[in-house]
Chains A and B, each alone.
Chain A
Amino acid sequence: AQKVTQAQTEISVVEKEDVTLDCVYETRDTTYYLFWYKQPPSGELVFLIRRNSFDEQNEISGRYSWNFQKSTSSFNFTITASQVVDSAVYFCALSGGYTGTASKLTFGTGTRLQVTL
C-alpha cells in the first residue's frame, strides 16, 4: 500500500522567512511519481510539481525548490523569502508507475502554511 506522511500540521512564519515543508512516502513500486499541490483558501487544488522516481535531481522554480531523496523516501518543498500569498494548505501526493497503481493519487494530510506580515 502507498502512504504519504506530512508530519507538520501547521507552520506559521513571518514574511520573507524561508520555510520547508516535509513529505515522507512509502511505496513498494519501483517506478512512482511524487507531486506537490497547493490549496489556497478558495479551495481549488493547484498543481506545483511532478517528479518521477528515476530523477533525483533537485528542482528550483523561482522561490520554490524541491529536494527529492530516495534514500530517505522524502520529497521536501522549500519556499524562499515567503510571501503572504503563499498562505495555503500544501499537499504532497504519490502515484504508482504501473497499471492499477498509476492512476490513484495518495495524498498526505496536508500542511497549513500561514505567512504573516
Chain B
Amino acid sequence: GAGVSQTPSNKVTEKGKYVELRCDPISGHTALYWYRQSLGQGPEFLIYFQGTGAADDSGLPNDRFFAVRPEGSVSTLKIQRTERGDSAVYLCASSLSPSGTDTQYFGPGTRLTVL
C-alpha cells in the first residue's frame, strides 16, 4: 500500500513568512509524528498525535510552531514568522498506534529553506 506522503517536497520562503507543511499518513495508522532533521544530525521529535489530539507537543521549539490533525488523518505543521534557523528537513511518520511495539514509518520529508 501507499506509504507516508508529504507535500511540498521543497519549500523556499523568506524570513518572517508563514508556511504550512502537509503529511498524509499510512491508511489506518492512528498515530502521527513530526520530526525535524538539521544537516548532519538525527531527527528530533517535535509532536505526536493520537487520533485528532496532540498527545505530546513537548518537542515544539516555541509558540511559532503549531500542528493540527482535525480529522485524525492528514496533519499540517504550521510555522509562523519563519526564521533562518527553521531551515531543516521536516519529517512525518505514522504508526498503527503510539505504543512502542509499533514501528514508525517515515515519509520523504519536506526540505524547508528560509532565506
Which bracket fits the contact residues of A? 20 to 34
A43-B108 in contact (CB<8A): yes
Contact with B along A15-48 (1 / 0, CB 8 A): 0000000000000000111010100001111110
A103-B101 in contact (CB<8A): no
B50: which A residues are within 8 A, CB to CB? Answer: 103
**Partner-A contacts on B (CB < 8 A):** 31, 33, 35, 40-45, 48, 50, 55-56, 59, 89, 91, 93, 98-101, 103-109
Which residue on chain B has the smallest CB distance to residue A97? Answer: B100
A8 to chain B, nearest CB (A): 13
Judge whether A102 is part of the interface by a CB distance below 8 angstroms. Answer: yes
B100-A44 in contact (CB<8A): no
Which of A33, A37, A110 interacts with B100 by CB under 8 Å?
Answer: A33
Other than the given A47-B104, A91-B42, 14 more pairs (CB < 8 A) read A43-B108, A44-B108, A45-B93, A45-B106, A47-B105, A52-B100, A103-B31, A103-B33, A103-B55, A103-B98, A104-B56, A106-B45, A107-B42, A109-B41
**Partner-B contacts on A (CB < 8 A):** 4, 31-33, 35, 37, 42-47, 50, 52, 91, 93, 95-97, 100-110
A100: which B residues are within 8 A, CB to CB? Answer: 56
